[in-house]
Structures are given as C-alpha cells and as structure tokens.
Amino acid sequence: MKQGLWHRLDIIARSLSPLAITLLLIMLGMVPLQIPDIAPIIPALALIAVYYWAVHRPELMTVWAIFLIGLFQDLLSGGHVGVGILALLLVHIIVDTQRRVFARSSFQALWVLFAPVAAAAMYLMWLLNCLMQGEFLEVGPVLFQYLTTVAAYPCLAWLFAQAQKVLIR
Amino acid sequence: MYRRAGSVARLATPVKAWAQRFALLLLIGVAVALMLLDKTDSVVIERARTLVTDAVSPLLEAAARPVATFSEMSERGTQLVAVAAENAALREQNERLQHWQAVARRLEAENMALRNMLSLAPDPALHFVTARVIGDQGGAFVRSMLVNVGNQEGVRRGQAALTGEGLAGRVAEVGAHTARVLLLTDMNSRIPILVGGTRDRAMLAGDNTGQPRLLYLEPRVELKVGDRVVTSGHGGVFPPGLPVGQVVSVREDGVRVQPFVDWGHMEYLRLVNYELPGILRSLEESKTPGNGR
C-alpha cells in the first residue's frame, strides 16, 4: 500500500517536471547577468519550452499548464497580462493541428519548423502589445529577440531531451 | 489498438477531444479577460504581480549573488591589465576635478547666500534606500528590474531609482519585500525633464530602444548634440536636477537621449524618497489605495 502511494507520487512528480522546468527557466532568465545589453535580447525561453514539450510529450504540456506558464511569465515580467498566455496558446494550437508534420520530424527539422512557429508567436505578442499600448511599437527589439530565440533552440532542446530521458520514462 | 479498445474508448476519445477544445477556448477567453482587466490598470493585477515577485524573490536573490560576484571578479581581472594607463588618466582627471570642486564650493556658498536673500523655501530632505537588483527583465516588450526592497523598507510607488551615474527609472510596483523599477527606456516611462543650458522643458519618453525620445519640445527650442538632460521636478515626484543623460541625435523625426546609466553593470540602485509635504502626498495616497499603509 505504502509502496503504491510512493509510486503514484513519483509518477505525478515526474509528469509535472516539464511544467516545473519551464517555470524554473523563466526565473533563471530573469537573473541579472551583468552583461551589457543582454536583457533586451535574452531568448524567449518559455516559448522554446512550450514548443518542445508540445511536440514531444503533449500529454504533459496541457493547455492548463501552458496557461499557468504564460500567467507566471506575464506577472513576473511586468508586461501586459494575457499577451504571453495567448502567444503560448497559439504555439499549442499550431503544433496540435499540425501534429502529423511535427511527430515525424527529426531534430533538425523541428528546429527549422520552430522558426515560423516562433515568428507567429512573437508577431502575435507584438500585435497585442501594440493594441494594448495604442501605438505602433519599434520592431527592432522584437526582431532581435526572435533571432536569439531561434538560435537558442537547439541548445535548450538538447537539455530538454536529457531531462526527458532522466525524469520521464 | 484503437479499434480493439471497444466502445468505451471509442466514445471516450471524442469526449476527451471535446473537453480539451473547450478548455482551450475557455483559457483563451480568460487570457483576453485578463488583458482587458490589465488595460483598466486594475489593482487586482498589480496585487497579483507583487505577490508573484515577492514569492520568487528569495530564489532570484540567491541566484543573483554568485553571478554578480563572478562578473566582479572577471572585471577585476581585466582592470588589472589596464591599471597603469588608467592610473595616469585618473590623476589627470583628479586634477581637473579638484578645480571643479573649488568652483562648486564657491557656487554652493553663493547659491546659499542668494537663497537666503530671497528667503526661498528649502528643498525637502532626501532619503535614500539602497537596493540590490535581483531581477533583470528579459524580452522585447518591457524594460524593468526587480529590487530586493519593498513596502517594509519604506519604498513607495513613484520614487526615483538612481545609480552612481544618473537616473535609471522609477518605482512602478511595490510588494512587501520587492519592488519593480520601470527603466526610463521602457515604452511606458514618461519623465519630465529640463534640457540644455537654456533649461527648456520636455518629456523624456521611452520606446524600448536604448535611447529614449524627447516629447513636447517647443518648436523654437534649438538643441545640439551633447546637451545635458536633467529631471525637472515637475509633478513633485522626482527631485529636480538629477542627471539623466545627454542628447545624441537631433533630427527631423525627433531628439534622442543617451542615458548616463551603464545598463550592463547595474548591481545596486538607490531609491530616493523625496516627499513634498502636504497636498501632493495626500493626493498620491488617495490615488493608490492598494499601496497605502
């Protein structure tokens, strides 16, 4: 009986690990690195995480988890609440509706596919921010962050793959 | 597998898919509702923000310290290489500053005497709270920093945040032990300033780029590159005369200012408590019931 309870807790803890890793990454992304001009172009880590888990283990990255991640990120970053949530949900919708394409893709192909997905999400964020602000925002910073995000994908995807091997069986 | 699973599974799968679709629609609706709530500057959203930042601040603080130590060490290493040249430059600068100090002393005395003659109301005393930067917001849409002091340490909304070089921003949200500083490059930052030797009034407005713009300049005002920008103190929230930056470009489409602050090495911020007695203070308190204590 006791064994059964621990076993079940173990399974729950393991299935929560994608969510926990993503929340931790969002916090780590905020640590001041004392490097000039890095803050504005730091990659959108949550975007990469949600994409990766939505492709590889969709049952562990549910819409509820995505909502929680987006809300946490929006509240912590001080940006407009809801904008990040909608962008992450868009990633979920794209991956979910095109599951056939994503499920068969290799590591490199997933990186290539990530580029348009991230572009759509960042574009939505820019659009919603413009709407909330009531004026057109500079495109430059968004473009830079988009490029660093796409560039950071393989590195983080490799990390997630290791986590997937160790934590989730 | 699917075909052999029987009628329950055949029925369950569409139900599950339907439930998921419903959840997705529901959450999109909630997100849009949150955006509308945020648009109305709701106290609820601000409370939620400060709750989250207060909750994660111990973790951020723990992570920020080793990073700061490491960057200090590496910086010290690079400084060692250039120490001789820097020493010579500093000697020269010291001599120049000695001269400036003499001038400043004389002007200070003269200023005091003139103020006495006019019996000008004295400026309120400034109090500083020094805060450690524990969070540096990454991303393209917000320019803000989290610091490790809050309501309990006497930080209030609207206070100016300074580094040794000049103004960095203002306090936008205050939690129990954390506060968010909106940097002057953020698109929501508006700071009343004076520019140039003629001290013309204008508004410094951030737009998420490194160099904020000047708004509401009078058309007759002539500015040139290198003009100093200081806070004006209009509005009574900031002390007047804090150094902000200097004009770097004057073009048809606008004037841009390069802040004095070194964004790359912001480890501590000084938060200035500049309280005008009387009417402004009570006005501030009635405007922000969520922060009143």
Q: Does B34 touch chain A (CB under 8 A)?
A: yes
pLDDT confidence of residue B280? 47
Nearest to B137 among A43, A77, A122 (CB): A77
CB B192 within 8 Å of CB B184: no
The burial class, CB within 10 Å (0-12 / 13-18 / 19+), for B203 is: middle
* B58 contacts on A by Cβ (under 8 Å): none
Pairwise CB contact (< 8 Å): A141 & B133: no
- Per-residue pLDDT averaged across A85-101, rounded? 93
Q: Does B59 touch chain A (CB under 8 A)?
A: yes
Mutate one of A67, A68, A81, A90 to test the B interface: name it (highest B CB count within 10 A).
Answer: A81
Nearest to B180 among A78, A129, A133 (CB): A78
Give me the interface pTM, i.e. the ipTM: 0.85
pLDDT confidence of residue B138? 66
Pairwise CB contact (< 8 Å): B263 & A34: no
Q: Which of A14-18, A82-86, B281-285 has the highest mean pLDDT?
A: A82-86
The whole-model pTM stands at 0.80
CB B227 within 8 Å of CB B204: no
Domain that holds residue A99: 2-167
Pairwise CB contact (< 8 Å): A142 & B34: no
pLDDT confidence of residue A138? 83
* A132 contacts on B by Cβ (under 8 Å): 35, 38-39
Pairwise CB contact (< 8 Å): A137 & B141: yes
- Mapped onto helix, strand or coil, the DSSP state of residue B135 is strand
| Chain B residue whose CA is closest to A79 | B142
CB atoms < 10 A from the CB of B244, how many?
A: 27
In whole angstroms, what is the distance from residue B93 CA to residue B95 CA? Answer: 5
Closest CA relative to residue B155, chosen from B181, B133, B137: B181
- Mapped onto helix, strand or coil, the DSSP state of residue B198 is coil
- Per-residue pLDDT averaged across A93-112, rounded? 91
Closest CA–CA distance from residue B25 to any residue of chain A (Å): 10
Written as tens digits, the pLDDT of chain B (293 aa) is: 444 445 555 666 788 888 888 999 999 999 999 999 988 877 888 889 899 989 988 888 888 888 878 878 887 888 788 888 888 899 999 999 999 999 999 998 888 888 888 877 766 677 888 998 888 876 778 888 999 999 888 888 888 999 888 899 999 889 998 999 999 988 888 999 998 888 888 999 988 888 999 988 887 878 888 899 999 888 777 888 889 999 998 888 789 999 999 887 788 899 988 765 544 444 445 444 444 33
Q: Does B267 touch chain A (CB under 8 A)?
A: yes
Nearest to A28 among B63, B145, B263 (CB): B63
* B180 contacts on A by Cβ (under 8 Å): 78
**In sequence order, what DSSP letters do the residues of B41-70 get, joined into one string?**
T-HHHHHHHHHHHHHHHHHHHHHHHHHHHH
* B173 contacts on A by Cβ (under 8 Å): 78
pLDDT confidence of residue B3? 46
The burial class, CB within 10 Å (0-12 / 13-18 / 19+), for B135 is: buried
CB B210 within 8 Å of CB B185: yes
Tell me if the domain spanning B41-62+127-284 has CATH number 2.40.10.340.
Answer: yes
CB pairs under 8 A between A and B: 165
Q: Does B179 touch chain A (CB under 8 A)?
A: no
Pairwise CB contact (< 8 Å): A44 & B139: yes
